[in-house]
Structure 1
Amino acid sequence: MAGFGQNRHGPERPPARHIRLVVSDMDGTLLTPDKQITAQSVAAAQTLRAAGIPLCLVSSRPPGGMEMYFGQLGLNTPYGALNGGTLFNPDRTIRSSLALDPQTVLDALNLLEAQQVDTWLFRGHEWLVRNAQAPLVQAESRTVQTIPTQVTDLRACAHNIGKVAGSTADHAALHEQQTKIGHLLTGRASVALSSKWFLDITPLHANKGHAVRQLAADYGISVNEVACLGDMDNDIPMLSIAGLAIAMGQATPDVQACAHYVSSPNTQEGWARAITDFVLPRCTTGVTLRHAPATPNTPSPQ
């Protein structure tokens, strides 16, 4: 893996000289392994705000699992949940959303269940599970401070789904399923690990790259003026298009290969160091959200 600083093995395009918007992943990036935001990261976020640079979060988390940190960070910006497929306004209303075709949802459920992988469905603010008392559900509920809705038949809830998630403690099996399911759902869905515990299946164009393009347009700027920070496979779509792409020190070689710079790990103030050393020196005049909250929409399934 690359060391801290400029990545000699990174993308051919040069890093942007001017940044007007920051879009960051959460778990493994902004958050420490125990899901905390350090005092240094809070200070770095405050410095961005003082410079007039919006900070927007994009995560595989459901919206509630993101909103729980907004007060600490002083955020009042749009945010992308469910890997960026659903964008929310600061008042928690849906700005825009993409949905999986119902048949794709059913196929994803069948593929995951065949491997005895627990499956969850997400749409808007809803989190649907079969067993709300399952250990992994309970653990995730505590992490994201969101109470799931238990339903008898997930297949009856296949419409307007923004994400199907597979969860298991068998990390090797989940990594294998990323390749297998990704192949089987080619052209119908995006399939990527969001952590070693979770495999996310989202609409084909619902990824963090989509969210970055949408947020840049909402602020009236180019993606070349956006700095993105991430650490996992599901961050690659946004790192690959960002004007300034930064990977955490613990990120895999595939993720780091998309980054102009590699920060220290998220256990060693990687996010704060990235903002201070790589982003703030490039910050220019801030921007304002171009238009009022958009009307929620769910485009035709892919």
Structure 2
Amino acid sequence: MTTYKLFVSDMDGTILHNHTKIAPETAEIVRAAEAQGIRFAIATGRNYFNAKEILDEVGLTCPIVSSNGGRVLTETGEVLHEIDLTTEEALEVVSVLHQDHKYSDVFYEMYSEAGLVASRLDLIDATMENLKQNGDERSLEMYEFFQKRYYVNEDVRLVEDIEDFIKNEAGRVYKFIAFSSHFEKMSSLWTEIDERVEGVYVTSSGNDNIEVMANGADKGHGVKKLAEHFGVDLSEVVVIGDNLNDVPMFEVAGKAIAMGNSHEDLIAISHHVTERHDEYGVANALKRVMNGEWK
């Protein structure tokens, strides 16, 4: 029987019981796994500080692969690996996004060394209103997430001229994420960035968004860096996730587990499917790994 030594979980749609919190019951199972000798880590599209804040709320301290692999940090915050977009690549991504005749209602954020940045507050408000009107579970969760981010915590820096900010203040740019409830525009935007901007990797964590990083900034590379750091063979790594940005880590790990709410393409390459994120899917999967049911 393979003894798994590292368990890596996505956040949104996976270990987060809703869009903002890890259930205390899940945190307890994570601690039980760690006591049994299974290291735990997070691999997320979120920035490091936001991911760490969520973990801190339930008393978990672990390595974090953030920005879809753009940054890999140990449990103490030591940077193991970073890969960022060049200034030219970042500006080219912005030039595509700023085609108002195509993407006037597409809102985006940029993850940078200087923090999380957005521009055009009118688009934030419009995006939130569209999400609220959609009324489905994910849209309402996203609406509440944006409302907290912009109007409660105010943890996003709003800038007037993002091109100037990229050139003079941003430092390293790790990721762009663009949102729209018009799903066909997300598909068109994905294709255009992929074709026009060299040196970037485009993926998605939901059909209402796309994410843009430098080539090599993906969760697969992030998981490899963690495995190397801990001296763990990839065959001894378990990963769990729900969407397309999890595909690279599914392709490198010894065991890949999809959530019950996963994208069909992810389920197709998984070894097992667990319950949904709001049905303690991660906790149940971790129990099955611990007791040898999923060998």
The 1:198–1:93 alpha-carbon spacing in structure 2 relative to 1, beyond 3 Å, is farther
Q: What is the letter of the counterpart of residue 129 of structure 1?
A: A
5 Å-filtered alignment, 1:74-153, equals 74-114=59-99, 115-116=103-104, 117-124=106-113, 126-131=115-120, 134-135=124-125, 139-140=145-146, 142=148, 147-153=155-161
User: In the alignment, does 2:273 pair up with 1:262?
Assistant: yes
1:265 CA displacement: 1.5
**8 Å Cα contact 1:130/1:154 also seen in 2:** yes
| TM-score of the aligned structures, taking structure 2 as reference length | 0.82
- The residue number in structure 2 matching 1:7 is none
Seen in structure 2, the aligned counterparts of structure 1 residues 282 and 224 have a Cα distance that, compared at 3 Å, is farther
In the alignment, does 2:238 pair up with 1:227?
yes
Say whether the 8 Å CA contact 2:80–2:225 is kept in structure 1: no
Whose relative contact order is higher, 1 or 2, with alpha carbons under 8 Å and at least 6 apart? 1
Aligned partner of residue 28 in structure 1, secondary structure: helix
RMSD over equivalenced CA pairs, Å: 2.6
Q: Percent identity?
A: 23
Question: 2:40 maps to which residue?
Answer: 55
Question: What CA distance in whole angstroms lies between the structure 1 residues aligned with 2:232 and 2:154?
Answer: 33
Deviation at 1:275, TM superposition (A): 0.8
TM-score (normalizing by structure 1): 0.80
Could you tell me how far apart the structure 1 residues matched to 2:260 and 2:236 are?
A: 23
Answer yes or no: is the 8 Å Cα contact 2:81–2:225 preserved in 1.
no
Query: How many Å separate the matches in 2 of 1:280 and 1:84?
Result: 30
* CA shift in 2, pair 1:260/1:269, >3 Å: same
Aligned equivalent of 2:212: 201
Structure 2 match to 1:172: 184
Gaps of 5+ in 2: 129-142
Paired position in structure 2 for 1:245: 256
1:177–1:131 Cα change, 3 Å: closer
CA contact (8 A) 1:63 1:125 kept: no
Preserved CA contact (<8 Å) 2:34 2:40: yes
In the aligned structure 1, how far is the partner of 2:258 from the partner of 2:220? 15
What amino acid sits opposite 1:171 in the alignment? F
Distance in 1 between the 2:147 and 2:236 partners? 35
Higher helix share: 2
Counterparts in 2 of 1:178-217, with a 5 A limit? 178-185=190-197, 188-217=199-228
